[in-house]
């Protein structure tokens, strides 16, 4: 878990709708956002675009508890959704979800693949690693939220598949998929055979053809 603290100052806003949001972004350099969840009503807010952009450069910000100061009152939230402009370096809208220190919540955290180039399947057997997912949906208390989850490929060989159940999750962290049963134990990564390599069946056929040619 990251020890870095993330704090954002927000201002309450009354104007809603596309026109009001465009004016915020264009004239004031602000980003329209919403805070929801918990026992409180959703609240429309605005944030500094520059301040938010700097935080978004840090990967930990996406999976970390954020202290959001709204009109002088602090709330613990996580970043739930982020909308960016398709062509410009501009943030269009942000959703924040309130979290309670005593209640579990669900979110997604990034996967960090380690020892990939030095793994048995890649370095020794010449295979190629591929990732089936880049983030994992988890459930935990806010205090147990990890910055990321490591996927160690050191001992993985060609043809082997790493599933969610193979991951070493931190204490207090559960996979949402596995909570629904073993049939949701999805693949995370695999190391495929080297390009141009033949299967055992093909190798056997090739050997037989070679033998027949020698007898002739």
Provide the domain limits for residue 19.
6-99
Sorting pLDDT into bands at 50, 70 and 90, what band is 181?
Answer: confident
131 in any annotated domain: yes
Q: What is the pLDDT, as a whole number, of residue 207?
A: 47
Sorting pLDDT into bands at 50, 70 and 90, what band is 1?
Answer: very low
The answer on 188 and 111 residing in a single domain is yes
Question: Radius of gyration (Cα) for the chain, nearest Å?
Answer: 24
Q: What is the largest CA-CA distance in the chain?
A: 91
The better pLDDT of the pair 207, 158 is held by: 158
The answer on 163 and 93 residing in a single domain is no
Contacts of 186 (CB under 8 A, 6+ apart): 132, 133, 163, 164, 177
What is the average per-residue pLDDT within 44-52?
92
Residue 76 has pLDDT above 90, yes or no: yes
The answer on 187 and 152 residing in a single domain is yes
Q: What is the pLDDT, as a whole number, of residue 30?
A: 86
Q: How far apart are CA 174 and CA 109, in angstroms?
A: 12
Q: What is the pLDDT, as a whole number, of residue 182?
A: 80
Q: Residue 116 CB: number of other CB atoms within 10 A?
A: 19
Q: What is the pLDDT of residues 124-140, one digit of tens each?
A: 999 999 999 999 999 99
Residue 25 has pLDDT above 90, yes or no: no
Mean pLDDT, the chain, rounded, equals 86
How many domains are there within the chain? Answer: 2
Residue 19 has pLDDT above 90, yes or no: no
The answer on 128 and 170 residing in a single domain is yes
Residue 75: C-alpha distances to residues 10, 67, 68 (Å): 11, 6, 5
Burial of 54 (0-12, 13-18, 19+ CB in 10 A): exposed
Q: What is the pLDDT of residues 80-99, one digit of tens each?
A: 999 998 998 889 999 999 99
């Amino acid at each position: 878990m990251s020890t870095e603290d993330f704090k954002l100052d927000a201002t309450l806003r009354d104007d809603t709708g596309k026109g009001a949001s465009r004016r915020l972004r264009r004239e004031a350099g602000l980003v329209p956002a919403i805070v929801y969840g918990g026992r409180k009503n959703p609240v429309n807010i605005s944030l500094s675009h520059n301040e938010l952009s700097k935080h978004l450069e840090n990967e930990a910000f996406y999976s970390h508890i954020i202290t959001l100061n709204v009109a002088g009152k602090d709330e613990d939230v996580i970043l739930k959704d982020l909308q960016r402009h398709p062509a410009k370096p501009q943030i269009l809208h942000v959703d924040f979800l309130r979290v309670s220190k005593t209640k579990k919540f669900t979110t997604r955290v990034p996967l960090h693949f380690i020892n990939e180039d030095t793994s048995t399947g890649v370095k020794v057997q010449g295979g190629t690693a591929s990732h089936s997912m880049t983030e994992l949906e988890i459930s935990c208390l806010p205090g147990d939220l990890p910055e990321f989850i490591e996927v160690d490929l050191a001992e993985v060989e060609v043809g082997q598949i790493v599933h969610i159940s193979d991951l070493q999750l931190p204490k207090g962290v559960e996979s949402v998929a596995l909570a629904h049963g073993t049939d949701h134990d999805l693949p995370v990564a695999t190391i495929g055979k080297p390009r141009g390599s033949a299967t055992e069946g093909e190798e056997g056929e090739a050997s037989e053809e070679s033998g027949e040619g020698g007898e002739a």
